[in-house]
Structure 1
Amino acid sequence: MKSAVETLNPTRVRLTVEVPFEELKPSLDAAYKKINQQVTVKGFRKGKIPARIIDQRFGRGAVLEEAVNEALPKFYTDAVNEGELKVLGQPEVDIKELKDGELLSFTAEVDVRPALEIPDYSGIEVEVDAIEVTDEDVDKAVDELRERFASTTPVERAAQEGDVVTLDLEAKVDGEVLQDGVASGVSYTIGSGELLDGIDDAVTGLEAGGEATFTSELKGGSAAGKEAEVTVKVTQVASRELPELDDEFAQLASEFDTLEELRDDSRRRLRNTKEYDQATQAQERVLDKLLELVEVPVPEKLLEDEIGTRKHNLEHHQLAQMGLDLAKYLEIQGKSEEEFETETREAAVKGIKTQFVLDELVTQEKLNVNQEELTEHLMRRAASSGMSPDQFAQAVVEGNQVPMLVGEVARGKALAAVVQAATVKDTNGEVVDLSDEEEEAEEAAAEGGETAEAASETAETAEEKSEEKSEG
């Protein structure tokens, strides 16, 4: 077999392949055998029909077609490997010549990963928010904890802001009670904004047994987005009482003996959170700078697939769970369809470029993923998915997703290496040492946010599908 590679553009090539006819013999034998099992010829036992009889009865062309279809994936894969190509997606194959007993010639056009030049990135400089934990921050954290330990006491008076009321609700649209629009015994804190718009005004001033009707747009359910007439009945009013902020509260709400110890722990936790946020911010800004340094052509077909995947996931998974459609989502976000399309395309482009660049860095820096790193990443992914590690691992293996997980971890390590090489300063002009946050940065990158994974497993999936198709 002979093959040649012609570069059509930075992300697409044309393979020209010539196969001597003798290399088709195994596929021809397989074609005769397959046809033998499918047809019946009088005078011959099934599976024992001579090749010349098959040629006479069904035509040599049918045999050749079957043989070529069986052989093409192997010849294509051999040509890809010979050309050391990193292909994306399925090829467009065109049979140029098929001479019985002489030659098979075909071309295959396919998208490929572009060759990238990664320049020296050690000069990257970014600015991040300075870390500051104020007394007000600590007060807010302690107050939130205090809210969790509030007690309620039923009262015989009109409901007011901050009270916890027990409600019965009934929603009508166009005069008809909705099947999923009736609820009883709903607990609601007036002023929390956790239920329907307008409910605070409706129940404020009502005593137990009081009723009110108001109009509100439904946020979920079968009539999400529609205006409904809602009747609300208050069955109980209870006042909320917050515990005193003292040592006794600290002992109730934590493992600490004093309020001061509790406040110190809250300050430490807040600082840790801000340090993590700062590391993530540094990671995102370093990535943006890195992408500015590298020219990354994006295959158009891959981009369209990525945009389609993002839209599908948003509409059929995220929005469906919230009972929203795309039109309602855009209305809530205050975006036009054109703005949504532009933002989705930009995010998809960034995702693909990010994956290409970080994968190239993995190769350039010779980064490897060991079993411990892979196991730790698998544990984190399992926790975020709500599955047990064993269940998640089984799903990964059955779905042939191990290479994808390895890629996530490797890209996380690549981005962490770039962050460590960069100069990061806070808004006070102080150099930020992210060495302590390096592991967290790798985790955040590997978990696939809008940074290291940015988004795109499409390229990887396309390669896997291409390999499967070629091999099978």
Structure 2
Amino acid sequence: MKTTLISNENNEAKLTLEFEAAEFDKAVDDAFKKERKNFSIPGFRKGKAPRQIIEAHYGEGIFFQDAIDQLFRDEYPKALDELDLEVIDSPKVDFSEIGHHKPLTMTMEVPLYPVVEVKDYFGLDVDQDKVEVKDEEVDQQIENLRKRNARLVSVDRAAVEGDTVLLDFAGFIGDDQFDGGTAKDQELKLGSHMFIPGFEEQLVGATADSKVDVNVTFPEDYSVEELAGKEAVFHCDIHEVKEEQLPELNDEFAQDVSEYDTVDELKENTRKDLEETRKKNAENDAKNSMVNQMMEKNPIDVPAVMIEDELDNMVREFEQQLSYQGMNMDMYLKYVHSDMANFRENMKPSAEHRVKSRVLLRSIAAQEGIEASEDEVNKELENVAKQYQMDVEDMKKMLNKSTLRLFGQDVVVQKTVDAMFEKANITEVEPKKPEEKAEEAKAEDSKAEDDAEKNSDAE
């Protein structure tokens, strides 16, 4: 097979795949061997008729389409890799005259990842939050560390919120016990809100070896439809009441839970960690604001297929997050009373923003000659391999050229953002209060919805 790039301009490429007559004839023969089992010809057992008989019965070109499809599936991805083309949609294909013992030429026009002209992306005015870590915030982190290392100790008193009770329970609706409402030796922290509303509160005051009837009403939107909105009673046997005992805050504790020898060292490094995290978050927020500014100065349209592809990616990401919580997409959609069409529609503004920002950043990279070195790509691969606890060389063997290109593009996008940030005019400002951030986020969501509606009307 011979690959030829005819043209590459205006975000579209034209290329040809040329197959010799022998290559096409072999593909036709392979198609016959694969499909012959499906043909019944009088005088032959099913699947046993010779190729010439089948072609005489159904027409000379009966296997041509299957042969062409297989050649395309096998060779088209190789051609894109060879020509280093990044396509965003299926190609338009024309064929030369097709026949036995004849060469085959596929002529294709393919849409490429768009490159656009971008202006006013250096020297932007950007606000960045000042970073301050207060003593009480450090103390709270240390207190959280103590809680994570607390131990549960049995106590001979009535349970209070924050205690953990060990219990058996059985749930009934009327006189009928329902499935999934029974447990033995269940540990439940009161105030954790792990059970349905009203359950844990009724165990406050319970003592070991006591019996408590807990009366609840399942929420109307409860995930188990048979229980939603129903009144139920749980007969509970309390075996034990436990309270958290925090370790004493001393140098021994610091040595047990960290690499530091003293509480003072532990606090000092806790402060440093908080400062580094907040600085990184403040910088990332400022970079996002900068990119949004650049996008407002450079409004663009992107092909709808790119937004749909990004939506597919976002759905896969969300499904993976759900799997970590023991859920799947069907369960989630049922719980929120929605469907996949509405879910995708709600995520569409975010998908469009992702696509547009990436197109613009990659276009800036092209204008500025920003590229990813082999060492930078390898470092990115190492980071991903570490996340999945894989050997980087083993991971490389699993990736094709197109996938490896994606890692390089991620590096290029990040380098472009960093280059813009280096040349931005950064002003440190006092961080906004949580309620101010919430109002801003609400306004941005409203603007995104308005933009999406305008785009929908325009279509």
**In the alignment, is the contact (CA less than 8 A) between 2:167 and 2:238 conserved in 1?**
yes
1:330 — aligned with what? 336
**In the alignment, is the contact (CA less than 8 A) between 1:160 and 1:205 conserved in 2?**
yes
Deviations 1:263-286 (A, max 9, x none): 222222211111121122122222
- RMSD value, Cα: 4.8
Alignment of 1:157-196 (within 5 A): 157-172=157-172, 177=177, 179-196=179-196
Matched, 1:369 2:372: yes
Q: Distance in 1 between matches of 2:102 and 2:341?
A: 56
* CA 1:329–1:54: 2 relative to 1, 3 Å: closer
Q: Tell me the amino acid that sits aligned with residue 206 of structure 1.
A: A
Give, in angstroms, the shift of residue 421 of structure 1.
Answer: 2.3
Please list every run of 5 or more consecutive structure 2 residues that lacks an aligned counterpart in the other structure.
Answer: 42-49, 432-459
Task: State the TM-score, normalizing by the size of structure 1.
Answer: 0.67
Q: Distance in 2 between matches of 1:16 and 1:208?
A: 79
Give, in angstroms, the shift of residue 158 of structure 1.
Answer: 1.0
Deviations 1:316-344 (A, max 9, x none): 8626833673445536xxx9999854431
2:135 — aligned with what? 135
Alignment of 1:87-102 (within 5 A): 87-93=87-93
Q: Distance in 1 between matches of 2:253 and 2:263?
A: 7
2:358 — aligned with what? 355
Q: Distance in 1 between matches of 2:75 and 2:142?
A: 68
Q: Distance in 1 between matches of 2:252 and 2:208?
A: 34
- How many pairs does the alignment contain? 409
2:456 — aligned with what? none
Please list every run of 5 or more consecutive structure 1 residues that lacks an aligned counterpart in the other structure.
Answer: 41-48, 430-472
Alignment of 1:17-56 (within 5 A): 25-27=21-23, 29-30=25-26
**In the alignment, is the contact (CA less than 8 A) between 1:213 and 1:232 conserved in 2?**
yes
Give, in angstroms, the shift of residue 144 of structure 1.
Answer: 0.9
Matched, 1:307 2:287: no
What is the DSSP-based 3-state SS (H/G/I as helix, E as strand, rest coil) of the residue aligned with 1:348?
helix
Identity of aligned residues (%): 24
**In the alignment, is the contact (CA less than 8 A) between 1:116 and 1:295 conserved in 2?**
no
Give, in angstroms, the shift of residue 410 of structure 1.
Answer: 2.9
Give, in angstroms, the shift of residue 100 of structure 1.
Answer: 11
2:214 — aligned with what? 213
Q: Distance in 1 between matches of 2:148 and 2:17?
A: 74
Give, in angstroms, the shift of residue 70 of structure 1.
Answer: 7.2
Q: Tell me the amino acid that sits aligned with residue 122 of structure 1.
A: F
Q: 2:348 aligns with which of 345, 354, 369?
A: 345
What is the DSSP-based 3-state SS (H/G/I as helix, E as strand, rest coil) of the residue aligned with 1:321?
coil
* CA 1:344–1:56: 2 relative to 1, 3 Å: closer
Give, in angstroms, the shift of residue 159 of structure 1.
Answer: 0.7
Give, in angstroms, the shift of residue 422 of structure 1.
Answer: 1.9
Q: Distance in 2 between matches of 1:122 and 1:249?
A: 50
Q: Tell me the amino acid that sits aligned with residue 410 of structure 2.
A: E
What is the DSSP-based 3-state SS (H/G/I as helix, E as strand, rest coil) of the residue aligned with 1:90?
coil
Q: 2:273 aligns with which of 263, 266, 269?
A: 269
**In the alignment, is the contact (CA less than 8 A) between 2:98 and 2:104 conserved in 1?**
yes
2:405 — aligned with what? 403
Q: Distance in 1 between matches of 2:322 and 2:147?
A: 30
1:420 — aligned with what? 422
Give, in angstroms, the shift of residue 14 of structure 1.
Answer: 9.1
2:443 — aligned with what? none
Q: Tell me the amino acid that sits aligned with residue 322 of structure 1.
A: M
Q: Distance in 1 between matches of 2:312 and 2:356?
A: 17
Give, in angstroms, the shift of residue 101 of structure 1.
Answer: 11
2:294 — aligned with what? 290
**In the alignment, is the contact (CA less than 8 A) between 1:247 and 1:257 conserved in 2?**
yes
